[in-house]
């Protein structure tokens, strides 16, 4: 069964989608059959590949039990890399989940079970908001990656997430792990260095040694509809994400 990883944090603009897309592309390049599940109604991961189509079957149709997951999955155009796309109607998913009389936190997990054996890795690109859909992601995931910008509120955000993780482990998903905190949009300035050191020194969650440096080529890759390794394999963004994924696989393999 595929290892399910949720990329999540409490606010937007921290690089969740960039991490999900580029991390997934690197896994696929390594030979792992990989699926991205876009859980954000803004459809950023879907749009990354130029695949936004509100008339297409999507994760919302899968969650509403109108479409099997296998039928909604499409190829990104890159070998071994598929996506379960989002559409704007996904903004209604929390209302739908709230209407269920029981088991609302397990809808995503149950919907993906029929296709799990087809993938080595399944990455959830989580929205910054939406309590019930994020709860579904945490209930379905084996582990979490927490992208964080080094700033004043980073530690506070981790404390908030830690409370959610503790609550999940107590009941909904006892096996949930936090693989680590990923420092993104990193810069070599006095302020950023101090914040980065604070994140790497905190004892709430493990902090990955590899950071993702601020890199304009990552933005250019989005505009080209290509993961960074297929757009400019020699840039800092590609190097950083390759090193990060190597570290992540080591963390996963070593437990």
Q: Is the dihedral of CA 18, 22, 24, 25 positive or negative?
A: positive
Contact indicator for 191, 157 with CB cutoff of 8 Å:
no
* Per-residue model confidence (pLDDT) at position 140: 97
Residues 6 or more apart in contact with residue 195 via CB below 8 angstroms: 150, 151, 152, 154
What does the pLDDT read at residue 68? 97
The confidence score (pLDDT) of residue 84 equals 98
Structure tokens at 221: 């890759």
Query: Among residues 17, 31, 3, 4, which one has the least CA distance to residue 184?
Result: 17
Domains present along the chain, CATH in parentheses: 3-253 (3.40.50.300)
85 in Cβ contact with 72 (< 8 Å): yes
Q: What does 28-74 look like in DSSP terms, one character per residue?
A: HHTT--EEEEE--TT-HHHHHTT---TTS--HHHHHTTSS-HHHH-E
pLDDT tens, position by position, 138-187: 999 999 999 999 988 888 889 989 999 999 999 899 999 999 999 999 99
Q: What is the pLDDT, as a whole number, of residue 1?
A: 67
Burial, 54: exposed, middle or buried (Cβ in 10 Å; 0-12, 13-18, 19+)?
exposed
Contact 131, 8 (CB under 8 A): no
Quote the pLDDT of residue 2: 82
**Residues with pLDDT less than 70, the chain:** 1
Q: Is 21 exposed, middle or buried (0-12, 13-18, 19+ CB in 10 A)?
A: buried
């Amino acid at each position: 069964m595929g290892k399910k990883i949720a990329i999540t944090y409490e606010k937007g603009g921290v690089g969740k989608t960039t991490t999900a897309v580029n991390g997934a592309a690197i896994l696929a390049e390594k030979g792992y059959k990989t699926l991205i599940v876009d859980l954000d109604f803004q459809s950023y991961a879907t749009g990354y590949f130029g695949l936004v189509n509100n008339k297409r079957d999507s994760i919302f149709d899968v969650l509403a039990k109108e479409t099997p997951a296998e039928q909604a999955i499409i190829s990104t155009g890159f070998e071994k890399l598929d996506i379960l796309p989002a559409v704007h109607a996904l903004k209604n998913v929390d209302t739908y989940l709230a209407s269920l009389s029981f088991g609302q936190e397990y809808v995503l997990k149950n919907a993906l079970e029929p296709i799990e054996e087809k993938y080595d890795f399944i990455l959830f690109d989580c929205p910054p908001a939406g309590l019930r859909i994020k709860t579904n992601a945490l209930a379905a995931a084996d582990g979490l990656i927490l992208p964080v910008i080094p700033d004043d509120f980073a530690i506070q955000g981790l404390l908030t997430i830690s409370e959610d993780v503790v609550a999940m482990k107590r009941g909904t998903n006892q096996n949930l792990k936090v693989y680590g905190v990923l420092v993104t949009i990193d810069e070599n300035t006095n302020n950023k260095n101090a914040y980065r050191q604070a994140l790497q020194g905190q004892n709430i969650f493990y902090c990955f040694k590899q950071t993702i440096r601020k890199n304009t080529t990552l933005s250019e890759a989005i505009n080209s509809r290509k993961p960074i390794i297929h757009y400019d394999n020699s840039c800092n963004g590609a190097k950083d994400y390759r090193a990060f994924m190597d570290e992540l696989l080591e963390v996963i393999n070593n437990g």
